[in-house]
Amino acid sequence: MASVARIVAMTIQTRRERERAERERLIVTAARDLAEAEGWDAVTTRRLAAEIEYSQPVLYSHFKGKDAIMAAVAVRGCEELTVELRASAAAAEGARERLAAVGRAYTGFGRRRPALYDVMFTHRVDLPFATPEAPPALQEAFGELLSAVEPLAAEGEDPALLTETYWAGLHGLVTLMRSGRLPEQAHDRRLALLIGRFAPRATAR
Amino acid sequence: MASVARIVAMTIQTRRERERAERERLIVTAARDLAEAEGWDAVTTRRLAAEIEYSQPVLYSHFKGKDAIMAAVAVRGCEELTVELRASAAAAEGARERLAAVGRAYTGFGRRRPALYDVMFTHRVDLPFATPEAPPALQEAFGELLSAVEPLAAEGEDPALLTETYWAGLHGLVTLMRSGRLPEQAHDRRLALLIGRFAPRATAR
DNA sequence: CAGTGTTCCTAGCGCTGCTAGCGAGGAGAG
DNA sequence: CTCTCCTCGCTAGCAGCGCTAGGAACACTG
């Protein structure tokens, strides 16, 4: 009897936990969608609460604060980015073309999903980044870049550092363009120049 | 008599305008200093008003809003950046060394004055950038980069676009590092890699 | 069915950027 | 020198922000 009761309690418990987890996903999805539709300024705790049809304090039973919600959105964004990078790399042949493909995919992601990109790579958000405790999704995304850059590293060059440098170039292009500092229309040519610097034709042929 | 009165009135007018202009400079300086000391979050209109020893609404008689104040700080920042870039370029010899010098100066500026850098190149601020109406200070800063990059452009490459691409690389390094996405300690090596891509040794020698 | 514990909502705090409207004080006219 | 006017900067307040305390209502336990 006692054991049965315990089992029942456990299943009720698990159902509750499942519902909680589902609601948490709902919060993150709502925050992301709202941000992508109207920008992060429109994502207020009140607005978000209305969106999920709960009251404000519920948010704080899932996340420490608004920043934590944004961090969760960022992690989900990394997963999406990884998928896109992987797909583009898989479809490309040759080292130079692989580098170009991930570059296009990366900047395309940043331009197509500006709000998501911002929370991942621009906004201050308390996520561990350049450490072993970084979210796996983030490490995978970096890994995709790494495997595209690595074959193009010259002798004596650290592939990881070279990848970070290439990443910085892509990131700079995306952010400067999106904030109006660089004109949109020449993006492809700038990207081609960047790629050319990291994969000289001599190396590819 | 009438003319004398008019002249007196004019000098009074000019004195007032001078005082107003001085107060405007005071506001911008206070905003910049406060931001550099405690970050932009600490720069509230109340705090800023207290700093300049006037009441809040005075700020709005000079600037349309907080964003306009930040834009003014950004313009002043561009002037400072131009000075530093120019000095570093002048002290360097050879195309490759010039490129490296401005790269070091640029990233050094970003690391040394993070709040100022953010308002210039990261925060959304309604300044015309990539247009002829851009602030002269901004165009000069870009010009400094341009004259360092131009000699290194290959045949058929647009020097302006190449400069924008180099700028993006520097900007990416600064922002990713400052937001914790890239570890600080390897900055010099990443910068060296970037410079190496834009000024191959073969070109310099 | 009563007791118990959790869950979620209402209400409110201190702060933000920004603005309306008043009162003091100097400028100009006679 | 006095009176009028007008400019200037202040006090006070609005709506909205992130976040939290405390009580009501619900579901489960025995």
DSSP B57-71: HHHHHHSSSHHHHHH
Instruction: Answer whether residue B8 shows pLDDT above 60.
Output: no
Note the pLDDT of residue A5: 38
Shared domain for B77 and B171, answered yes or no, is yes
Contacts of B152 in chain A (CB under 8 A): none
| Nearest CA distance, A124 vs chain B (angstrom) | 6
Q: Using the beta-carbon criterion (under 8 Å), do A164 and B190 form an inter-chain contact?
A: yes
Q: Using the beta-carbon criterion (under 8 Å), do B194 and A168 form an inter-chain contact?
A: yes
Nearest residue to B40 via CA among B66, B60, B78, B75: B66
Give CA separation, B94 vs A192, B91, B97, B156, in Å.
Answer: 26, 10, 5, 22
Q: Using the beta-carbon criterion (under 8 Å), do B198 and A194 form an inter-chain contact?
A: no
Note the pLDDT of residue A195: 98
Note the pLDDT of residue A13: 62
Shared domain for B116 and B154, answered yes or no, is yes
Least confident of A55-59, A102-106, B18-22, B195-199: B18-22
Shared domain for A166 and A201, answered yes or no, is yes
Considering its fold, how many domains does chain A have in total? 2
> Helix, strand or coil for residue A156?
coil
Sorted by sequence, the CB contacts under 8 Å of residue B66 that are 6+ apart come out as B43, B45
Instruction: Answer whether residue B3 shows pLDDT above 50.
Output: no
- Residue A7 sits in a domain of what CATH number? 1.10.10
Note the pLDDT of residue B167: 98
User: Which of A40, A62, A84 is the C-terminal boundary of a domain?
Assistant: A62
User: Which of A62, A79, A97 is the C-terminal boundary of a domain?
Assistant: A62
Note the pLDDT of residue A11: 59
Strand C close to A16 by CB, under 7 A:
yes
pLDDT in tens, B99-133: 999 999 999 999 999 999 999 999 988 888 888 89
Which nucleotides along chain C are within 7 A of a protein C-beta?
7-12, 15-21, 27-29
User: Which of B44, B62, B80 is the C-terminal boundary of a domain?
Assistant: B62
Note the pLDDT of residue A128: 86
| Angle value at C-alpha A13, between A7 and A15, nearest 5 degrees | 105
What is the mean pLDDT of the segment spanning A5-21?
Answer: 61
For chain B, percent of residues with pLDDT exceeding 70: 92
| CB neighbours of residue B50 within 10 Å | 13
Residues with CB under 7 A from strand D: A 5, 8-9, 12, 43-47, 56-57, 60, 65-67; B 16, 54-58, 61
- Residue A124 sits in a domain of what CATH number? 1.10.357.10
Note the pLDDT of residue B131: 87
Note the pLDDT of residue B4: 40
CA to C1' distance (Å), from A44 to D21: 21
**Tokens 């809003």 map to which residue?**
B65
DSSP string, chain B: -HHHHHHHHHHHHHHHHHHHHHHHHHHHHHHHHHHHHH-GGG--HHHHHHHHTS-HHHHHHHSSSHHHHHHHHHHHHHHHHHHHHHHHHHT--SHHHHHHHHHHHHHHHHHHSHHHHHHHHTS------SSTTS-HHHHHHHHHHHHHHGGGPPTT--HHHHHHHHHHHHHHHHHHHHTTSS-GGGHHHHHHHHHHHHS-HHHH-
pLDDT in tens, A90-103: 999 999 999 999 99
Q: How far apart are CA A71 and CA A27, in angstroms?
A: 12
Instruction: Copy the structure tokens of residue B200.
Output: 């191959």
Q: Using the beta-carbon criterion (under 8 Å), do B130 and A167 form an inter-chain contact?
A: no
Instruction: Answer whether residue A111 shows pLDDT above 80.
Output: yes
> Helix, strand or coil for residue A146?
helix
Interface test with A, best of B193, B194, B198, B201 (most A CBs within 10 A): B193
Band (A12; pLDDT cuts 50, 70, 90):
low
Band (B19; pLDDT cuts 50, 70, 90):
confident
Report the chain A residue with the minimal C-alpha distance to residue B197: A197
Instruction: Answer whether residue A203 shows pLDDT above 90.
Output: no
Q: Using the beta-carbon criterion (under 8 Å), do B180 and A130 form an inter-chain contact?
A: yes
| CB neighbours of residue A50 within 10 Å | 13
Note the pLDDT of residue A140: 95
Shared domain for A116 and A166, answered yes or no, is yes
**Side-chain half-sphere of A51: how many Cα atoms within 13 Å?**
21
- B191 and B107 Cβ atoms separated by less than 8 Å: yes
Shared domain for B87 and B107, answered yes or no, is yes
Shared domain for A94 and A13, answered yes or no, is no
Shared domain for B55 and B25, answered yes or no, is yes
Burial class (CB in 10 A: 0-12, 13-18, 19+), A117: buried
What is the mean pLDDT of the segment spanning B185-198?
Answer: 98
Give CA separation, B25 vs B22, B43, B131, B136, in Å.
Answer: 5, 16, 26, 18
Chain B residues 136-195 with a CB less than 8 Å from chain A: 157-158, 161-162, 164-165, 167-173, 175-176, 179-183, 186, 189-190, 193-194
Instruction: Answer whether residue A27 shows pLDDT above 50.
Output: yes
> Helix, strand or coil for residue A45?
helix
Note the pLDDT of residue B200: 82
What is the mean pLDDT of the segment spanning B31-49?
Answer: 98
Instruction: Answer whether residue A14 shows pLDDT above 70.
Output: no
The residue range of the domain holding B11 is 1-62
Shared domain for B29 and B83, answered yes or no, is no
Shared domain for A13 and A77, answered yes or no, is no
DSSP A40: G
Q: How far apart are CA B148 and CA A33, in angstroms?
A: 43
Shared domain for A119 and A94, answered yes or no, is yes
Average pLDDT, chain A: 91
pLDDT in tens, A48-93: 999 999 999 999 999 999 999 999 999 999 999 999 999 999 999 9
Shared domain for B54 and B73, answered yes or no, is no
Among partner residues B168, B180, B181, which is closest to A172 by beta-carbon distance? B168
Shared domain for A18 and A107, answered yes or no, is no
Instruction: Answer whether residue A1 shows pLDDT above 80.
Output: no
For chain A, percent of residues with pLDDT exceeding 70: 91
